[in-house]
Chains A and B, each alone.
Chain A
Amino acid sequence: MKKDLLRVIAKLGYNSAIKAAGAASRYGTYQPEEPEVLQKLRKDK
């Protein structure tokens, strides 16, 4: 149960990062620095 919950939380964070990557502005807030790893992941997709 705990592992499943943690996996859901992890998936939320990951999906949020992937969706935010490359957007001009995500949710209109302060934009934290996008990790280079994420940019590479996005290019590979």
Chain B
Amino acid sequence: MIHKFAQMVADFLCDNDTIKEEEKEIYIYGYEIIISNIVNFLIILSLGLLLHQVIDGFLFYIVFVITRQYCGGYHANTYLKCNILFGTLCLVTLCFSNMLYDTSFISLFILFLIYIGCILEYAPIDNEHKKISAEDKKKYRKISIWISILWSAVDIVLFCTAKKYAITLTITLVIIAMLMVIEINRRKELLE
């Protein structure tokens, strides 16, 4: 459905001589990305409003999107599955961030180490539809590590000032790590 809608927009632009026929593929791809992003954003907003945790929802979204851009990980094979998974992961994060409010710094630190371990071991993981060149892999690996350092600093500040958000941030990072491990294991199984 998202692809069809993106195609409609591109066709409309082509019919109005705004874009060339040979460039339509690029525009369809761009609109698919935009539309799926909007859908995900609305999912986050809805869940945030429902659970009265809008800021946690946005924090999850921002951390998830920025980190995954460079580290990659598991992706579902259809838009619907991806949206359901994304919504579920957001819901899990928001629920756990409430439940784990009394978590100590040591526990959060251990969870953070799990995330760091996955980044150092696996990042970046490309997608079957979007292969990354060797040069880009080196670059994304460095960026993933720098982003991790940034999140660690943000996590410490949040733990001292707004602990709940530190927990949300850490859980999001653990989820990202889990998705990386799932993808690696999925590929190992495919090879066997």
Q: Tell me the B1-47 residues at the A interface (CB within 8 Å).
A: 3, 9-10, 13, 16, 18-19, 22-23, 25-27, 29-34, 36-37, 39-40
- Measured in the bound complex, the distance between the Cα atoms of B9 and A12 in whole Å is 12
B56-90 interface bits toward A, Cβ cutoff 8 Å, 1 = contact, 0 = none: 00000000110011111101111101110010000
Complex contact A28–B64 (CB within 8 A)? yes
- Given A6-B13, A13-B10, A13-B34: A25 in contact with B68 (beta carbons within 8 A): yes
Most chain B CB neighbours (cut-off 10 Å) among A21, A24, A35:
A24
- Measured in the bound complex, the distance between the Cα atoms of B82 and A32 in whole Å is 12
Complex contact B29–A30 (CB within 8 A)? no
- Measured in the bound complex, the distance between the Cα atoms of B86 and A41 in whole Å is 30
- Measured in the bound complex, the distance between the Cα atoms of B130 and A29 in whole Å is 13
**Main SS class of interface, B:** helix
> Could you say which residues of chain B place their CB within 8 Å of the CB of A44?
none
> Could you say which residues of chain A place their CB within 8 Å of the CB of B78?
30
Complex contact A29–B86 (CB within 8 A)? yes
> Could you say which residues of chain B place their CB within 8 Å of the CB of A12?
30, 34
Interchain nearest-CB distance for B5 vs A (Å):
12
- Given A3-B18, A6-B16, A17-B33: A24 in contact with B72 (beta carbons within 8 A): yes
- Measured in the bound complex, the distance between the Cα atoms of B125 and A9 in whole Å is 32
Complex contact A24–B30 (CB within 8 A)? no
Complex contact B26–A9 (CB within 8 A)? no
Complex contact B129–A31 (CB within 8 A)? yes
Interchain nearest-CB distance for A12 vs B (Å):
7
Q: Tell me the A1-45 residues at the B interface (CB within 8 Å).
A: 2-3, 6-7, 9-10, 12-18, 20-35, 37-38, 41
19 contacts between A and B (CB under 8 A): A10-B18, A13-B13, A13-B30, A13-B31, A14-B23, A14-B26, A17-B29, A17-B30, A18-B30, A24-B140, A29-B33, A29-B79, A29-B83, A30-B79, A32-B3, A33-B129, A33-B130, A37-B22, A37-B23
A-B CB proximity, top 7 nearest: A17-B30, A24-B72, A13-B30, A30-B82, A16-B30, A35-B25, A25-B68
